[in-house]
Structure 1
Amino acid sequence: MNTADFLYEVGALKRTARTGWALARLPNRESVADHSFRTAVIAMTLAAMSGADPDRAATLALLHDLPEARLGDMHHLTRRYLDEPKPFRRVIDDQTENLPPPVREAIRSRAAQWLDQETAEARLARDADTLDSLLHVRESLADRPDLRERWEEYLSAAVTTEAGRTMMAEIRATDPDAWWPRTVST
């Protein structure tokens, strides 16, 4: 595998649907790449809010689902039955094996940081992962308030950082459509 092969593999995430939403019967499905993009922006925002490194947090969030190019998206119910995080480390090692050493080590070290959850940036990126799902639920289930509330409670319990809890409260208090009318100039 060369660098171009790796980039083509990363592109597979644009075609990899997130499976948890189908299981939950959400009509608004997204790809893993869709999810990773907004998760990276959320992680950058949370890190800036809390004095952590926004670039590192965004990078961790951007790369967090890279193994899903080979494993497919595995929702939380599936992950209960796996020996996590061992398979993810093996996939990252395999994916990056033939990359130039500086690229290989940059990706592997960030993947390890994500999996180990020992830094502020990793914990903020994990919260960003959850907050993106919270945003998606609120966008997708506006017409099903009981189900939306159950999902919100479930996801909210996974947010662990102060910045993440602050953002979670703001998300829950904000209508998903409130942003756009204010942006249109008259």
Structure 2
Amino acid sequence: MMAIKANPNPLSLSYSSTPFNRISIKKIHFLHHSQCRNLVLGCSKNPISGSLNLDPSFSGSGSGSSKLNSLNDSVDAASTSASNAIDFLTLCHSLKTTKRKGWVNHAIKGSESIADHMYRMSLMALIAGDLPGVNRERCIKMAIVHDIAEAIVGDITPSDGVPKAEKSRREQAALTEMCKVLGGGMRAEEIKELWQEYENNASLEANLVKDFDKVEMILQALEYESEHGKVLDEFFLSTAGKFQTEIGKSWAAEIHSRRNARLGN
């Protein structure tokens, strides 16, 4: 039996060359195609003379028509889900390649990316001791998504001079666009909810993940001090007295203790 071959165009994703912290959301275009579905429709409704006809049940009339519609619906549903997922993951690629600006400003070579930072925060949530009323799984998820909007807006830091309200507005707009790329639905709503909860510091989980954000930063600062022979006081000063949980306070104290011992030596 002859095989009908389709050669669909690959997913096309184009970015503006504009830096991430200036990028216009409208310049991000996601293109997907449904050649396979169109091939089925074309062959069933307008068979080419001399070509192999499809099963008579796909004739476009009677019960065959309902079967065709059912098949098309299934193909569309699966295709849309996979297409949206890959579009979303491709957009998130920039989290792996965008360096955290605080380290770039201090000329740290080979500095961590946004994704590096979020990954170690997720590990912190995984290994932290149990706390009454705290959902560990929610903390892990929150750590994974808390900086996800930076895939579009980049890492906006105090050195950029962007007011806090404007930073939040940009990130909210970026997050909304990312959830549209994902296709909406339950998972998109979960990402929005987790991000907003973190942004508003609105739960025990958010309190803990906020602390992990600061702990990860000062731990990274300590490591860069050791690796590059630098003194990165500003990162320790900016977080002093701002930890909300006992775990955050104890882990920060351990990092400060190790730093003091190193500086003393």
- TM-score normalised by the chain length of structure 2: 0.59
Structure number with the bigger relative contact order (C-alpha 8 A, sep ≥ 6) is: 1
- Residues 47-92 of structure 1 deviation map (CA, whole Å, 9 limit, x = unaligned): x343311111111111111111101112233264352422222211
Quote the Cα distance in structure 2 between the aligned partners of 1:171 and 1:73. 24
Q: Which ranges of structure 2 fall in alignment gaps of 5 or more residues? A: 1-29, 31-83, 260-265
Preserved CA contact (<8 Å) 2:156 2:162: no
Amino acid at match of 2:94: A
Quote the Cα distance in structure 2 between the aligned partners of 1:122 and 1:79. 25
Quote the Cα distance in structure 2 between the aligned partners of 1:150 and 1:70. 27
1:127 has 2:219 as partner: no
Aligned partner of 1:10 in structure 2 is: 92
Aligned pair in 2 of structure 1 residues 150, 18: CA closer, same or farther (>3 Å)?
closer
Preserved CA contact (<8 Å) 2:217 2:235: no
1:94 has 2:177 as partner: yes
Aligned pair in 2 of structure 1 residues 5, 81: CA closer, same or farther (>3 Å)?
same
Aligned pair in 2 of structure 1 residues 160, 25: CA closer, same or farther (>3 Å)?
farther
CA displacement at 1:97 relative to structure 2: 1.2
Amino acid at match of 1:19: K
Preserved CA contact (<8 Å) 2:156 2:167: no
Preserved CA contact (<8 Å) 1:45 1:54: no
User: Which structure has the larger Rg?
Assistant: 2
Quote the Cα distance in structure 2 between the aligned partners of 1:132 and 1:165. 12
Question: Higher helix fraction: Structure 1 or Structure 2?
Answer: 1
- TM-score normalised by the chain length of structure 1: 0.82
CA displacement at 1:128 relative to structure 2: 0.6
Preserved CA contact (<8 Å) 1:53 1:121: yes
Q: Within 5 Å, which residues of 2 pair with 1:102-141?
A: 102-141=186-225
Quote the Cα distance in structure 2 between the aligned partners of 1:4 and 1:19. 27
Kindly, what percent of the aligned residue pairs are identical?
23
1:50 has 2:134 as partner: no
| Paired residue secondary structure (1:30) | coil
Aligned partner of 2:46 in structure 1 is: none
Quote the Cα distance in structure 2 between the aligned partners of 1:153 and 1:6. 36
Quote the Cα distance in structure 1 between the aligned partners of 2:169 and 2:242. 21
Quote the Cα distance in structure 2 between the aligned partners of 1:105 and 1:129. 23
Alignment length (residue pairs): 172
Amino acid at match of 1:90: A
- Residues 113-167 of structure 1 deviation map (CA, whole Å, 9 limit, x = unaligned): 11111101111111111111101100001233xx234432323343222221111
Aligned pair in 2 of structure 1 residues 109, 150: CA closer, same or farther (>3 Å)?
closer
Q: Within 5 Å, which residues of 2 pair with 1:79-90?
A: 80-82=162-164, 83-90=166-173
Please say which of residues 7-16 and 84-93 is displaced more in the overlay: 84-93
CA displacement at 1:35 relative to structure 2: 0.7
